[in-house]
Amino acid sequence: MATEFASDAAKQPKLWWWGAVAAAAVILGIVPTMTDISLQLDLSILFVFMLLAMSMGFLWGYAGILSFGQTIFFGLGGYAYTILAMNMGTTGLPFLMAVLLPVVFAAVLGYFMIYGQISDIYLSVITLVVTLIFEKSMRSTSGPEYVIGTVRLNGQNGIPGVPGLVLPWIGDAPLSIAGVFYLSGGLVLCVYVGLRMILTTRFGRVIVGIRENERRMELLGYDARWYKLLAFMLAALIASLSGVLYAIWGNFVAPEMFNLNQAAQVVIWVIVGGRSTLIGPVVGTGVIQYLSNWLGTVGVGQVTVVLGAILMIFVLVFPRGLLPTLGAAIAALWSAKDRKGRGK
Amino acid sequence: MTGLAVMLQTTQLEKRFGGVRAVAGVDFTLREGELRCLIGPNGAGKSTFFRLLTGQMKPTAGALMICGQDVTRARANEIAALGVGIKNQIPDVMNGLSVSENLWLAASQRFRGAQARRAVEKVAERLFLTGILNRLVGELAHGQRQWVEIAMVIVGEPKIVLLDEPAAGMSDEETARTAELIREINKDTTIIVVEHDMPFIRQIAQTVTVFHQGRILLEGLFDAVVADPTVREVYLGRAGV
């Protein structure tokens, strides 16, 4: 198990990594000029989901906390933005508040789970149960008494007409489709780079140490509970960012944001992509979402069954996920070629 | 000896498991600069006592003071943060990380930035780990892992070091080197070593505390303790020393 994770996450990334990030930024910049609106919409929602996947992948892969319920913060972020923006008539402040409010909830939930020293498996179960409780509660808010300010929660019908984000330095109009594309794509890049940088800081290195051996870190004098809580809150921040963007992208929020289907999808993205790298969950999201769209268009009725089968294959055959497995295969090929080269 | 500062003190410290008193009211004092060995037959309560001292277990009664602070109910990380280096019996390290990352994590609990990096370099040199700094700890041999952990314990320049059977599972040569290392650490650090390996204790011991049935049976210089008829009866006689 010693080599399951990259052991050099603490080091500053190499030059090629920065090159790749710059290339991704350039590609992100020119895509809207070369594509139609429908592709921009498809890619934007992919970016939104990539953020959600990164939130879980970071927490599971680097802090060793398996949360089945990152959708708690995804849904809370979406609903918070909707309710605040529709009540306040502006969008900038609601955007910030909606990203931060779920983090406060994460602090409370995380405090009870982590300082209560429940076992890892219970933490997974509790997060899943909490997201399902949110789904149930939101579904049962269809009556006229469920109003926050001027906004009716509408139960399982969800809330339509979520205002688009207005960025004051761009103009008075809400972000265009290309604007949402830039925002969500840019945030995927920023969060990715940000998390990579955090892993080189003392905080990042300490949480990796806790993942490796919590008791040893405690015996060294670190309060593991505090660091785990911070990691949990950071992951919640990314998930709520994803939820807010989801609401802006679709101008709509609904209890489905919290449901089992959504929660399970996050797990599938991360497992398929691999949790031992930050980019794994991003790639996993891309592959799985492309696959389910494609399966839908070619008329395979049972998309869920096919996705379930893919998950099973990955869990049993490639437990480390797509990217680490590919990486190991390339490394093996490379060294085989090397040996052959030397043999001549 | 009595003039030196008290580093660690227990008053009527007790730990019960159901009806069993594993540690049965121990009064124990450790002064600055000491190298104390806790010995005793299996089940004498010395490992439980070690866990109480390190906050890995909470006592049922009594009090524990370390560096003048009451830490009876403290967690292990709070005790460690007072400047106490702790090493359990089994190698307890971050297997998936490199030697240098393990040492850095230990050092940066106490030091920041360049100071932490310097502390790592210094301890690696002192324990001859410089050549393996980039290796994964999980890939090292048992003895090397023990030394990495000892390095982690001392890199933060603790005031007290608590070691539980540091030579367990080591070869004779490794044991001798470990003994030498412990004597060297003792030049500027107060140390408690829990051990039952008599030849090893002979190499390091000054003062020895003998545990028997959860209590302190006897305390004194190694030679005097070994010669004591009661000690020979409960422990050493059977060990054939």
pLDDT band, very low/low/confident/very high, at B85 (cuts 50, 70, 90) = very high
pLDDT band, very low/low/confident/very high, at B236 (cuts 50, 70, 90) = low
**What residues of chain A lie within 8 A of the CB of B77, using their CB?**
217-224
Query: Closest to B98 (Cβ–Cβ): which among A7, A221, A223?
Result: A7
Q: What is the mean pLDDT of residues A5-12?
A: 75
Query: Closest to B101 (Cβ–Cβ): which among A1, A10, A216?
Result: A10
| Cβ pair B139:A2 closer than 8 A | yes
Helices (H), A152-278: 177-198, 202-212, 214-219, 224-250, 260-273
Joined together, the tokens standing for residue A1 give: 């198990």
Name residue A159's beta-bridge partners: A253
Å between A63 CA and nearest CA of chain B: 13
Task: For residue A10, tell me if it sits in a domain.
Answer: no
Query: Closest to A221 (Cβ–Cβ): which among B56, B81, B98?
Result: B81
In contact, A184 and A177? CB cutoff 8 Å: no
**What residues of chain B lie within 8 A of the CB of A216, using their CB?**
92-94, 152
Name residue B14's beta-bridge partners: B24, B61
Q: What is the pLDDT of residues A152-203, one digit of tens each?
A: 999 999 999 999 999 888 888 899 999 999 999 999 999 999 999 999 999 9
- A294: how many CB neighbours lie within 10 A of its CB? 11
pLDDT band, very low/low/confident/very high, at B42 (cuts 50, 70, 90) = confident
The boundaries of every CATH 3.40.50.300 domain in chain B are: 6-83+158-239
Which among A99-113, A318-332, B40-54, B90-104 has the top mean pLDDT? A99-113
Q: What is the pLDDT of residues B160-189, one digit of tens each?
A: 999 999 888 888 888 898 999 999 999 999
Range with the poorest average pLDDT among A188-192, A258-262, A290-294, B233-237: B233-237
Predicted pLDDT of residue B196? 82
Query: Closest to B105 (Cβ–Cβ): which among A2, A8, A209?
Result: A209
Query: Closest to B80 (Cβ–Cβ): which among A2, A4, A221?
Result: A221
Residue in the block written with tokens 């006689």: B237
Residue type (1 letter), B55: G
Q: Which residues have a Cβ under 8 Å from the Cβ of A302 and sit 6 or more positions away?
A: none
Joined together, the tokens standing for residue A192 give: 């990715």
Task: For residue A62, tell me if it sits in a domain.
Answer: yes
Query: Closest to A220 (Cβ–Cβ): which among B95, B96, B109?
Result: B109
Q: What is the pLDDT of residues B98-111, one digit of tens each?
A: 999 999 999 999 99
Name residue B9's beta-bridge partners: B29, B65
Query: Closest to A222 (Cβ–Cβ): which among B56, B93, B109?
Result: B109
Per-residue pLDDT at B235 exceeds 90: no
Q: What is the pLDDT of residues B115-129, one digit of tens each?
A: 999 999 999 999 999
Per-residue pLDDT at B2 exceeds 60: no
Q: What is the mean pLDDT of residues B199-226?
A: 90
Report strand pairing: B190-194 vs B160-164. parallel
**What residues of chain A lie within 8 A of the CB of B104, using their CB?**
10, 205
Q: Which helix (H) or strand (E) holds B69?
A: strand B69-70
Residue type (1 letter), B149: E
**C-alpha–C-alpha distance, residues B227 and B237, integer Å:** 10
Name residue A253's beta-bridge partners: A159
Q: What is the pLDDT of residues A84-134, one digit of tens each?
A: 999 999 999 999 999 999 999 999 999 999 999 899 899 999 999 999 999
Predicted pLDDT of residue A342? 64
User: In this complex, is the C-beta atom of B152 within 8 Å of any C-beta atom belonging to chain A?
Assistant: yes
Q: Name which of A220, A226, A228, A320 to mutate to probe chain B: the one with the most chain B Cβ atoms within 10 A of its Cβ.
A: A220
User: In this complex, is the C-beta atom of B136 within 8 Å of any C-beta atom belonging to chain A?
Assistant: yes
Average pLDDT across chain B, whole number: 90
pLDDT band, very low/low/confident/very high, at A300 (cuts 50, 70, 90) = confident
Torsion on CA atoms A158, A96, A148, A70, rounded to nearest 10? 50
Q: What is the mean pLDDT of residues A237-252?
A: 97
**C-alpha–C-alpha distance, residues A275 and A321, integer Å:** 7
Reference B71, options B62, B35, B192; nearest CA is: B62
Range of the domain at A171: 15-259
Indicate if the alpha-carbon torsion angle A49, A52, A54, A56 is positive or negative: negative
| Cβ pair A219:B94 closer than 8 A | no
Query: Closest to A221 (Cβ–Cβ): which among B77, B95, B96?
Result: B77
- Supply φ then ψ for residue A248, to 5 degrees: -70, -40
Range with the poorest average pLDDT among A49-63, A190-204, A283-297, B58-72: A283-297
pLDDT band, very low/low/confident/very high, at A344 (cuts 50, 70, 90) = very low
Rounded to the nearest angstrom, the gap between the alpha carbon of residue A10 and the centroid of all alpha carbons in its chain is 21
**C-alpha–C-alpha distance, residues A9 and A66, integer Å:** 19
Average pLDDT across chain A, whole number: 92
| Cβ pair B101:A216 closer than 8 A | no
User: In this complex, is the C-beta atom of B180 within 8 Å of any C-beta atom belonging to chain A?
Assistant: no
In chain B, % of residues over pLDDT 70: 96
Is residue A166 classed exposed, middle or buried when 0-12, 13-18 and 19+ CB atoms within 10 A define those classes?
middle
| Cβ pair A7:B97 closer than 8 A | yes
Number of domains in chain A: 1
Q: Which helix (H) or strand (E) holds B16?
A: strand B6-17
Following DSSP, what letter does each residue of B194-225 receive, concatenated? E---HHHHHHH-SEEEEEETTEEEEEEEHHHH
**What residues of chain B lie within 8 A of the CB of A218, using their CB?**
75-77, 80
In B, minimum Cα distance to A214 occurs at B94
User: In this complex, is the C-beta atom of B80 within 8 Å of any C-beta atom belonging to chain A?
Assistant: yes
Residue in the block written with tokens 């967690």: B75
Task: For residue A207, tell me if it sits in a domain.
Answer: yes
| Cβ pair A213:B86 closer than 8 A | no
Per-residue pLDDT at B241 exceeds 50: no
**Strand extents, DSSP E, B88-170:** 160-164
**What residues of chain B lie within 8 A of the CB of A204, using their CB?**
none
**C-alpha–C-alpha distance, residues A91 and A333, integer Å:** 52
**What residues of chain A lie within 8 A of the CB of B54, using their CB?**
219
In B, minimum Cα distance to A218 occurs at B77
Task: For residue A218, tell me if it sits in a domain.
Answer: yes
Integer angstrom CA distances of residue A214 from A211, A266, B83: 6, 26, 19
Superfamily of domain B6-83+158-239: P-loop containing nucleotide triphosphate hydrolases (3.40.50.300)
Task: For residue A152, tell me if it sits in a domain.
Answer: yes
In A, minimum Cα distance to B103 occurs at A220
| Cβ pair B156:A221 closer than 8 A | yes
Q: What is the mean pLDDT of residues A255-261?
A: 94
Joined together, the tokens standing for residue B229 give: 């008829």
**C-alpha–C-alpha distance, residues A286 and B81, integer Å:** 45
User: In this complex, is the C-beta atom of B86 within 8 Å of any C-beta atom belonging to chain A?
Assistant: yes
Residue in the block written with tokens 């406060």: A104
Predicted pLDDT of residue A11? 84
**What residues of chain A lie within 8 A of the CB of B136, using their CB?**
2-3, 7
Reference A78, options A238, A252, A264; nearest CA is: A252
**C-alpha–C-alpha distance, residues A12 and A84, integer Å:** 39
Per-residue pLDDT at B238 exceeds 60: no
**C-alpha–C-alpha distance, residues A229 and A17, integer Å:** 29
Angle among Cα A284, A286, A288 to the nearest 5 degrees reads 65
Q: How many CB pairs under 8 A join A and B?
A: 83
Task: For residue A314, tell me if it sits in a domain.
Answer: no
Predicted pLDDT of residue B240? 45
Predicted pLDDT of residue A334? 85
Task: For residue A322, tell me if it sits in a domain.
Answer: no
Exposure string over A190-229, b if 16+ CB within 10 A, otherwise e: ebbbebbebbeeeebbbbbbbbbbbebbbbbbbbbbebbb
Per-residue pLDDT at A299 exceeds 90: no
Predicted pLDDT of residue A173? 87
| Cβ pair B77:A218 closer than 8 A | yes
User: In this complex, is the C-beta atom of B139 within 8 Å of any C-beta atom belonging to chain A?
Assistant: yes
- A161: how many CB neighbours lie within 10 A of its CB? 9
